[in-house]
């Protein structure tokens, strides 16, 4: 579990960050209370049975409801003949069905494969075939994409649900508007599919066999570009995720040293549950605390989002820099009372002007943290009990070591810039079926090489200054130039292509694509249409520039740094 000695080039770094810890936060996490996420889930559902667990679009679900419904999903999946460790894909946004399905998959002893619902057929097919998933749950809005990949995938079972399926009579109105008025459900036809309602009915008549799930078993395959851009499934074990939610819970306790903690915490869940940040911070930590998560299905509808914020006295608000910025640009935010909210930020860097404006408008500070899919995700965070915005990624979590290393793997002195390397119980077990690539990012002494460049100050706070690779960060999502360039090169009119990130006031960074034409008739509209067909929205180039040639090294490698310059 990532134990090991320091790098050979330097002695082990003293854990200077511990002196900056809140008094009540221990240096190490205690022994885990649960043997698996399944045990955490079942004990929380029993302990908090009558509390609200999740709500969406005005419909609520208690922990008792969640336990009963997820039991049916688990029994149904076992009835299909799925065995422990088989992978099941989940392709849907923040609707009540999502946690029911995810916890049902885990209770059946299976592995969750989170899928971005906005994936194109090309992206979906790769993830399905790479993970080996034979079963998928999908919202009907995206069923057309599943239909398109079926012939080339290994899928055997498809379960389709609708936006309004869990909303009672209101759901019929919601479905009518979504299908007929807004026309958000493209026509689809999947022979032999099951509806979510059918699955629940079939599961209610089936038996659920207990499965011996252990700490080192894989719970989630969380797909990421890692530090290279080739999509890989980070194998997150029950141990990884239990440890990270415990680390977060200990860290959060410091926020209530000087103020009364509510009997029941209420979380805003605006980030998608298929993203590792919301999965751990909202769903898993919320589960362990008996919290109520208010699911926001469409956070881009800022007026609707603010209206939802006004309905609940929130306590915890995880989000991104872009989300906070968008909220502040709507006059409705000023009417809300957010004084009791602890605002947590991750996924992308928080800009100081955004943090300062947020504090001025709401009276609360933004606490920035840092992590990756490979670290479950939280590796470090600023103090929740501090009103100061540090401009850093904070202090390593309990039981977590940071080491700043040079290219040779030697530890660097404080203040010197190197690669941020992370060791702790939340670090993944490796990349799914990619031992060579796992070896490239894991050191011999158990550190994960993050690919981010930074330095640590004398208080133990780490600041990121650059990324080692050419990855582009769009609204908290990793975008890799290799993938954009490969897709662009698929167009017969493109001779060469190169992608870089450029600053963007809304998304942090945006993709800019440089293209050398093979066909002089090629237009910007042609390139955009081709990219829209093969790339999900946040990966699509915002800017396209045609050039006669691209800068290259002596060996012919495209020099993205010159394009950035």
Q: How many CA atoms lie within 13 A of 302 on its CB side?
A: 12
At residue 556, the pLDDT reads 59
pLDDT tens digits, 160-201: 999 999 999 999 999 999 999 999 999 999 999 999 999 999
Locate 441 and state its tokens: 């990012």
Per-residue pLDDT, averaged over 13-21, amounts to 93
The number of beta carbons lying within 10 Å of the beta carbon of residue 20 is 16
At residue 225, the pLDDT reads 67
CB 264 within 8 A of CB 315: no
pLDDT tens digits, 336-355: 999 889 999 887 778 788 89
Please name each of the domains of the chain with its CATH number: 16-33+218-467 (3.40.50.12780), 37-204 (3.40.50.980), 472-564 (3.30.300.30)
Between CA 565 and CA 561 the distance in angstroms is 6
Mean pLDDT over the full length of the chain: 93
**pTM of the full structure:** 0.87
At residue 259, the pLDDT reads 84
Question: 60-69, 281-290, 320-329, 431-440: which range is least confident on average?
Answer: 320-329
Between CA 423 and CA 447 the distance in angstroms is 5
For helices 63-79 and 196-204, give the axis angle rounded to 10 degrees: 90
Whether the pLDDT of residue 300 is over 80: the answer is yes
Whether the pLDDT of residue 466 is over 80: the answer is no
Whether the pLDDT of residue 231 is over 60: the answer is yes
* Banded pLDDT at 2 (limits 50, 70, 90): very low
* Closest C-alpha to 316, from 351, 357, 361, 271: 271
Question: Which residue shows structure tokens 């915490």?
Answer: 265
At residue 483, the pLDDT reads 86
């Amino acid at each position: 579990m990532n134990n090991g000695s320091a790098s050979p080039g330097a002695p082990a770094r003293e854990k200077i960050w511990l002196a900056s810890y809140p008094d009540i936060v221990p240096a190490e996490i205690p022994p885990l209370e649960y043997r698996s996420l399944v045990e955490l889930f079942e004990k929380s559902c029993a302990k908090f049975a009558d509390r609200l667990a999740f709500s969406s679009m005005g419909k609520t679900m208690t922990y008792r409801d969640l336990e009963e419904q997820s039991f049916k999903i688990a029994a149904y999946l076992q009835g299909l003949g799925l065995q422990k460790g088989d992978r099941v894909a989940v392709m849907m946004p923040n609707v009540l069905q999502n946690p029911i399905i995810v916890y049902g998959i885990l209770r059946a002893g299976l592995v969750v494969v989170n899928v971005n619902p906005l994936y194109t057929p090309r992206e979906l097919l790769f993830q399905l075939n790479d993970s080996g998933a034979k079963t998928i749950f999908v919202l009907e809005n995206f069923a057309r994409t599943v239909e398109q990949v079926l012939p080339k995938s290994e899928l055997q079972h498809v379960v389709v649900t609708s936006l309004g399926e869990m909303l009672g009579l209101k759901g019929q109105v919601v479905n009518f508007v979504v299908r007929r008025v807004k026309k958000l459900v493209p026509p689809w036809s999947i022979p032999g599919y099951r509806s979510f309602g059918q699955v629940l009915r079939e599961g209610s008549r089936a038996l659920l066999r207990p499965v011996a799930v252990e700490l080192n078993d894989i719970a989630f395959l969380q797909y990421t570009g890692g530090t290279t851009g080739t999509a890989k499934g980070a194998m997150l074990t029950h141990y990884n995720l239990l440890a990270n939610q415990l680390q977060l819970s200990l860290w959060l306790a410091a926020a209530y040293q000087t103020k009364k903690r509510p009997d029941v915490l209420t979380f805003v869940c605006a980030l998608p549950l298929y993203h590792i940040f919301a999965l751990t911070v909202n769903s898993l930590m919320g589960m362990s605390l008996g919290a109520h998560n208010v699911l926001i299905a469409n956070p881009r509808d800022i007026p609707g989002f603010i209206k939802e914020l006004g309905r609940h006295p929130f306590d915890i608000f995880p989000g991104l820099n872009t989300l906070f910025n968008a909220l502040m640009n709507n006059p409705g935010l000023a009417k809300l009372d957010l004084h009791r909210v602890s605002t947590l930020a991750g996924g992308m860097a928080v800009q100081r002007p955004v943090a300062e404006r947020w504090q001025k408008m709401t009276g609360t500070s933004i606490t920035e943290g840092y992590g990756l899919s490979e670290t479950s995700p939280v590796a470090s965070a600023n103090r929740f009990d501090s009103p100061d915005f540090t401009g850093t990624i904070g202090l390593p979590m309990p039981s977590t070591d940071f080491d700043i290393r040079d290219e040779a793997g030697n530890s660097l002195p404080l203040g010197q810039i190197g690669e941020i390397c992370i060791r702790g119980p939340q670090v993944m077990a490796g990349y799914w079926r990619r031992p060579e690539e796992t070896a490239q990012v894991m050191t011999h002494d158990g550190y994960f090489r993050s690919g981010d460049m930074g330095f640590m100050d004398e208080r133990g706070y780490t600041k990121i200054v650059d990324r080692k690779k050419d990855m582009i960060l769009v609204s908290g999502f990793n975008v890799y130039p290799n993938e954009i360039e490969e897709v662009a090169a698929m167009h017969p009119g493109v001779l060469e292509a190169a992608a870089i990130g450029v600053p963007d006031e809304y998304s942090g960074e945006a993709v800019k694509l440089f293209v050398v034409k093979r066909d002089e008739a090629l237009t910007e509209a042609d390139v955009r249409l081709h990219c829209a067909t093969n790339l999900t929205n946040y990966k699509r180039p915002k800017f396209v520039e045609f050039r006669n040639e691209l800068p290259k090294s002596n060996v012919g490698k495209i020099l993205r740094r010159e394009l950035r310059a």
